């Protein structure tokens, strides 16, 4: 029993140390063409409501992590949609 309690504490310390939850996307995850196409659709439908659709080349991979972590909540994207939009953007942002 004591062992169980201790591992419970260890697990919660681990969870807390994982950092702020708002940074859901930290790198690429989805790479299949269906998922990238889905990301494109979400991007085109969700990201032109408040301003015109931004150019994917506006930011590099790291820049999109920061911008999307501010914009995905505005566009009310789920973590998965956020991730798919990110993966789409970094698949087309290279010059």
Do 61 and 90 touch, CB atoms closer than 8 A?
yes
Please tell me the distance from the alpha carbon of residue 75 to that of residue 46, in angstroms, as a whole number.
Answer: 6
18-77: contacts with ligand HEC (CB under 6 A): 46-47, 49-51, 54, 58, 67-68, 70-72, 74-75, 77
Rounded to a whole number of angstroms, the minimum distance from the CB of residue 43 to ligand HEC is 6
Site residues (vs ligand HEC, CB under 6 A): 46-47, 49-51, 54, 58, 67-68, 70-72, 74-75, 77, 85
């Amino acid at each position: 029993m004591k062992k169980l309690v201790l591992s419970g504490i260890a697990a919660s310390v681990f969870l807390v140390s994982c950092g702020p939850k708002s940074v859901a996307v930290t790198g690429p995850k989805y790479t299949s063409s269906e998922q990238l196409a889905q990301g494109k659709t979400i991007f085109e439908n969700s990201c032109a409501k408040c301003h015109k659709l931004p150019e994917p080349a506006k930011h590099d991979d790291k820049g999109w992590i920061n911008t999307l972590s501010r914009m995905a909540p505005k566009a009310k994207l789920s973590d998965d949609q956020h991730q798919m939009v990110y993966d789409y953007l970094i698949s087309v942002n290279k010059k």
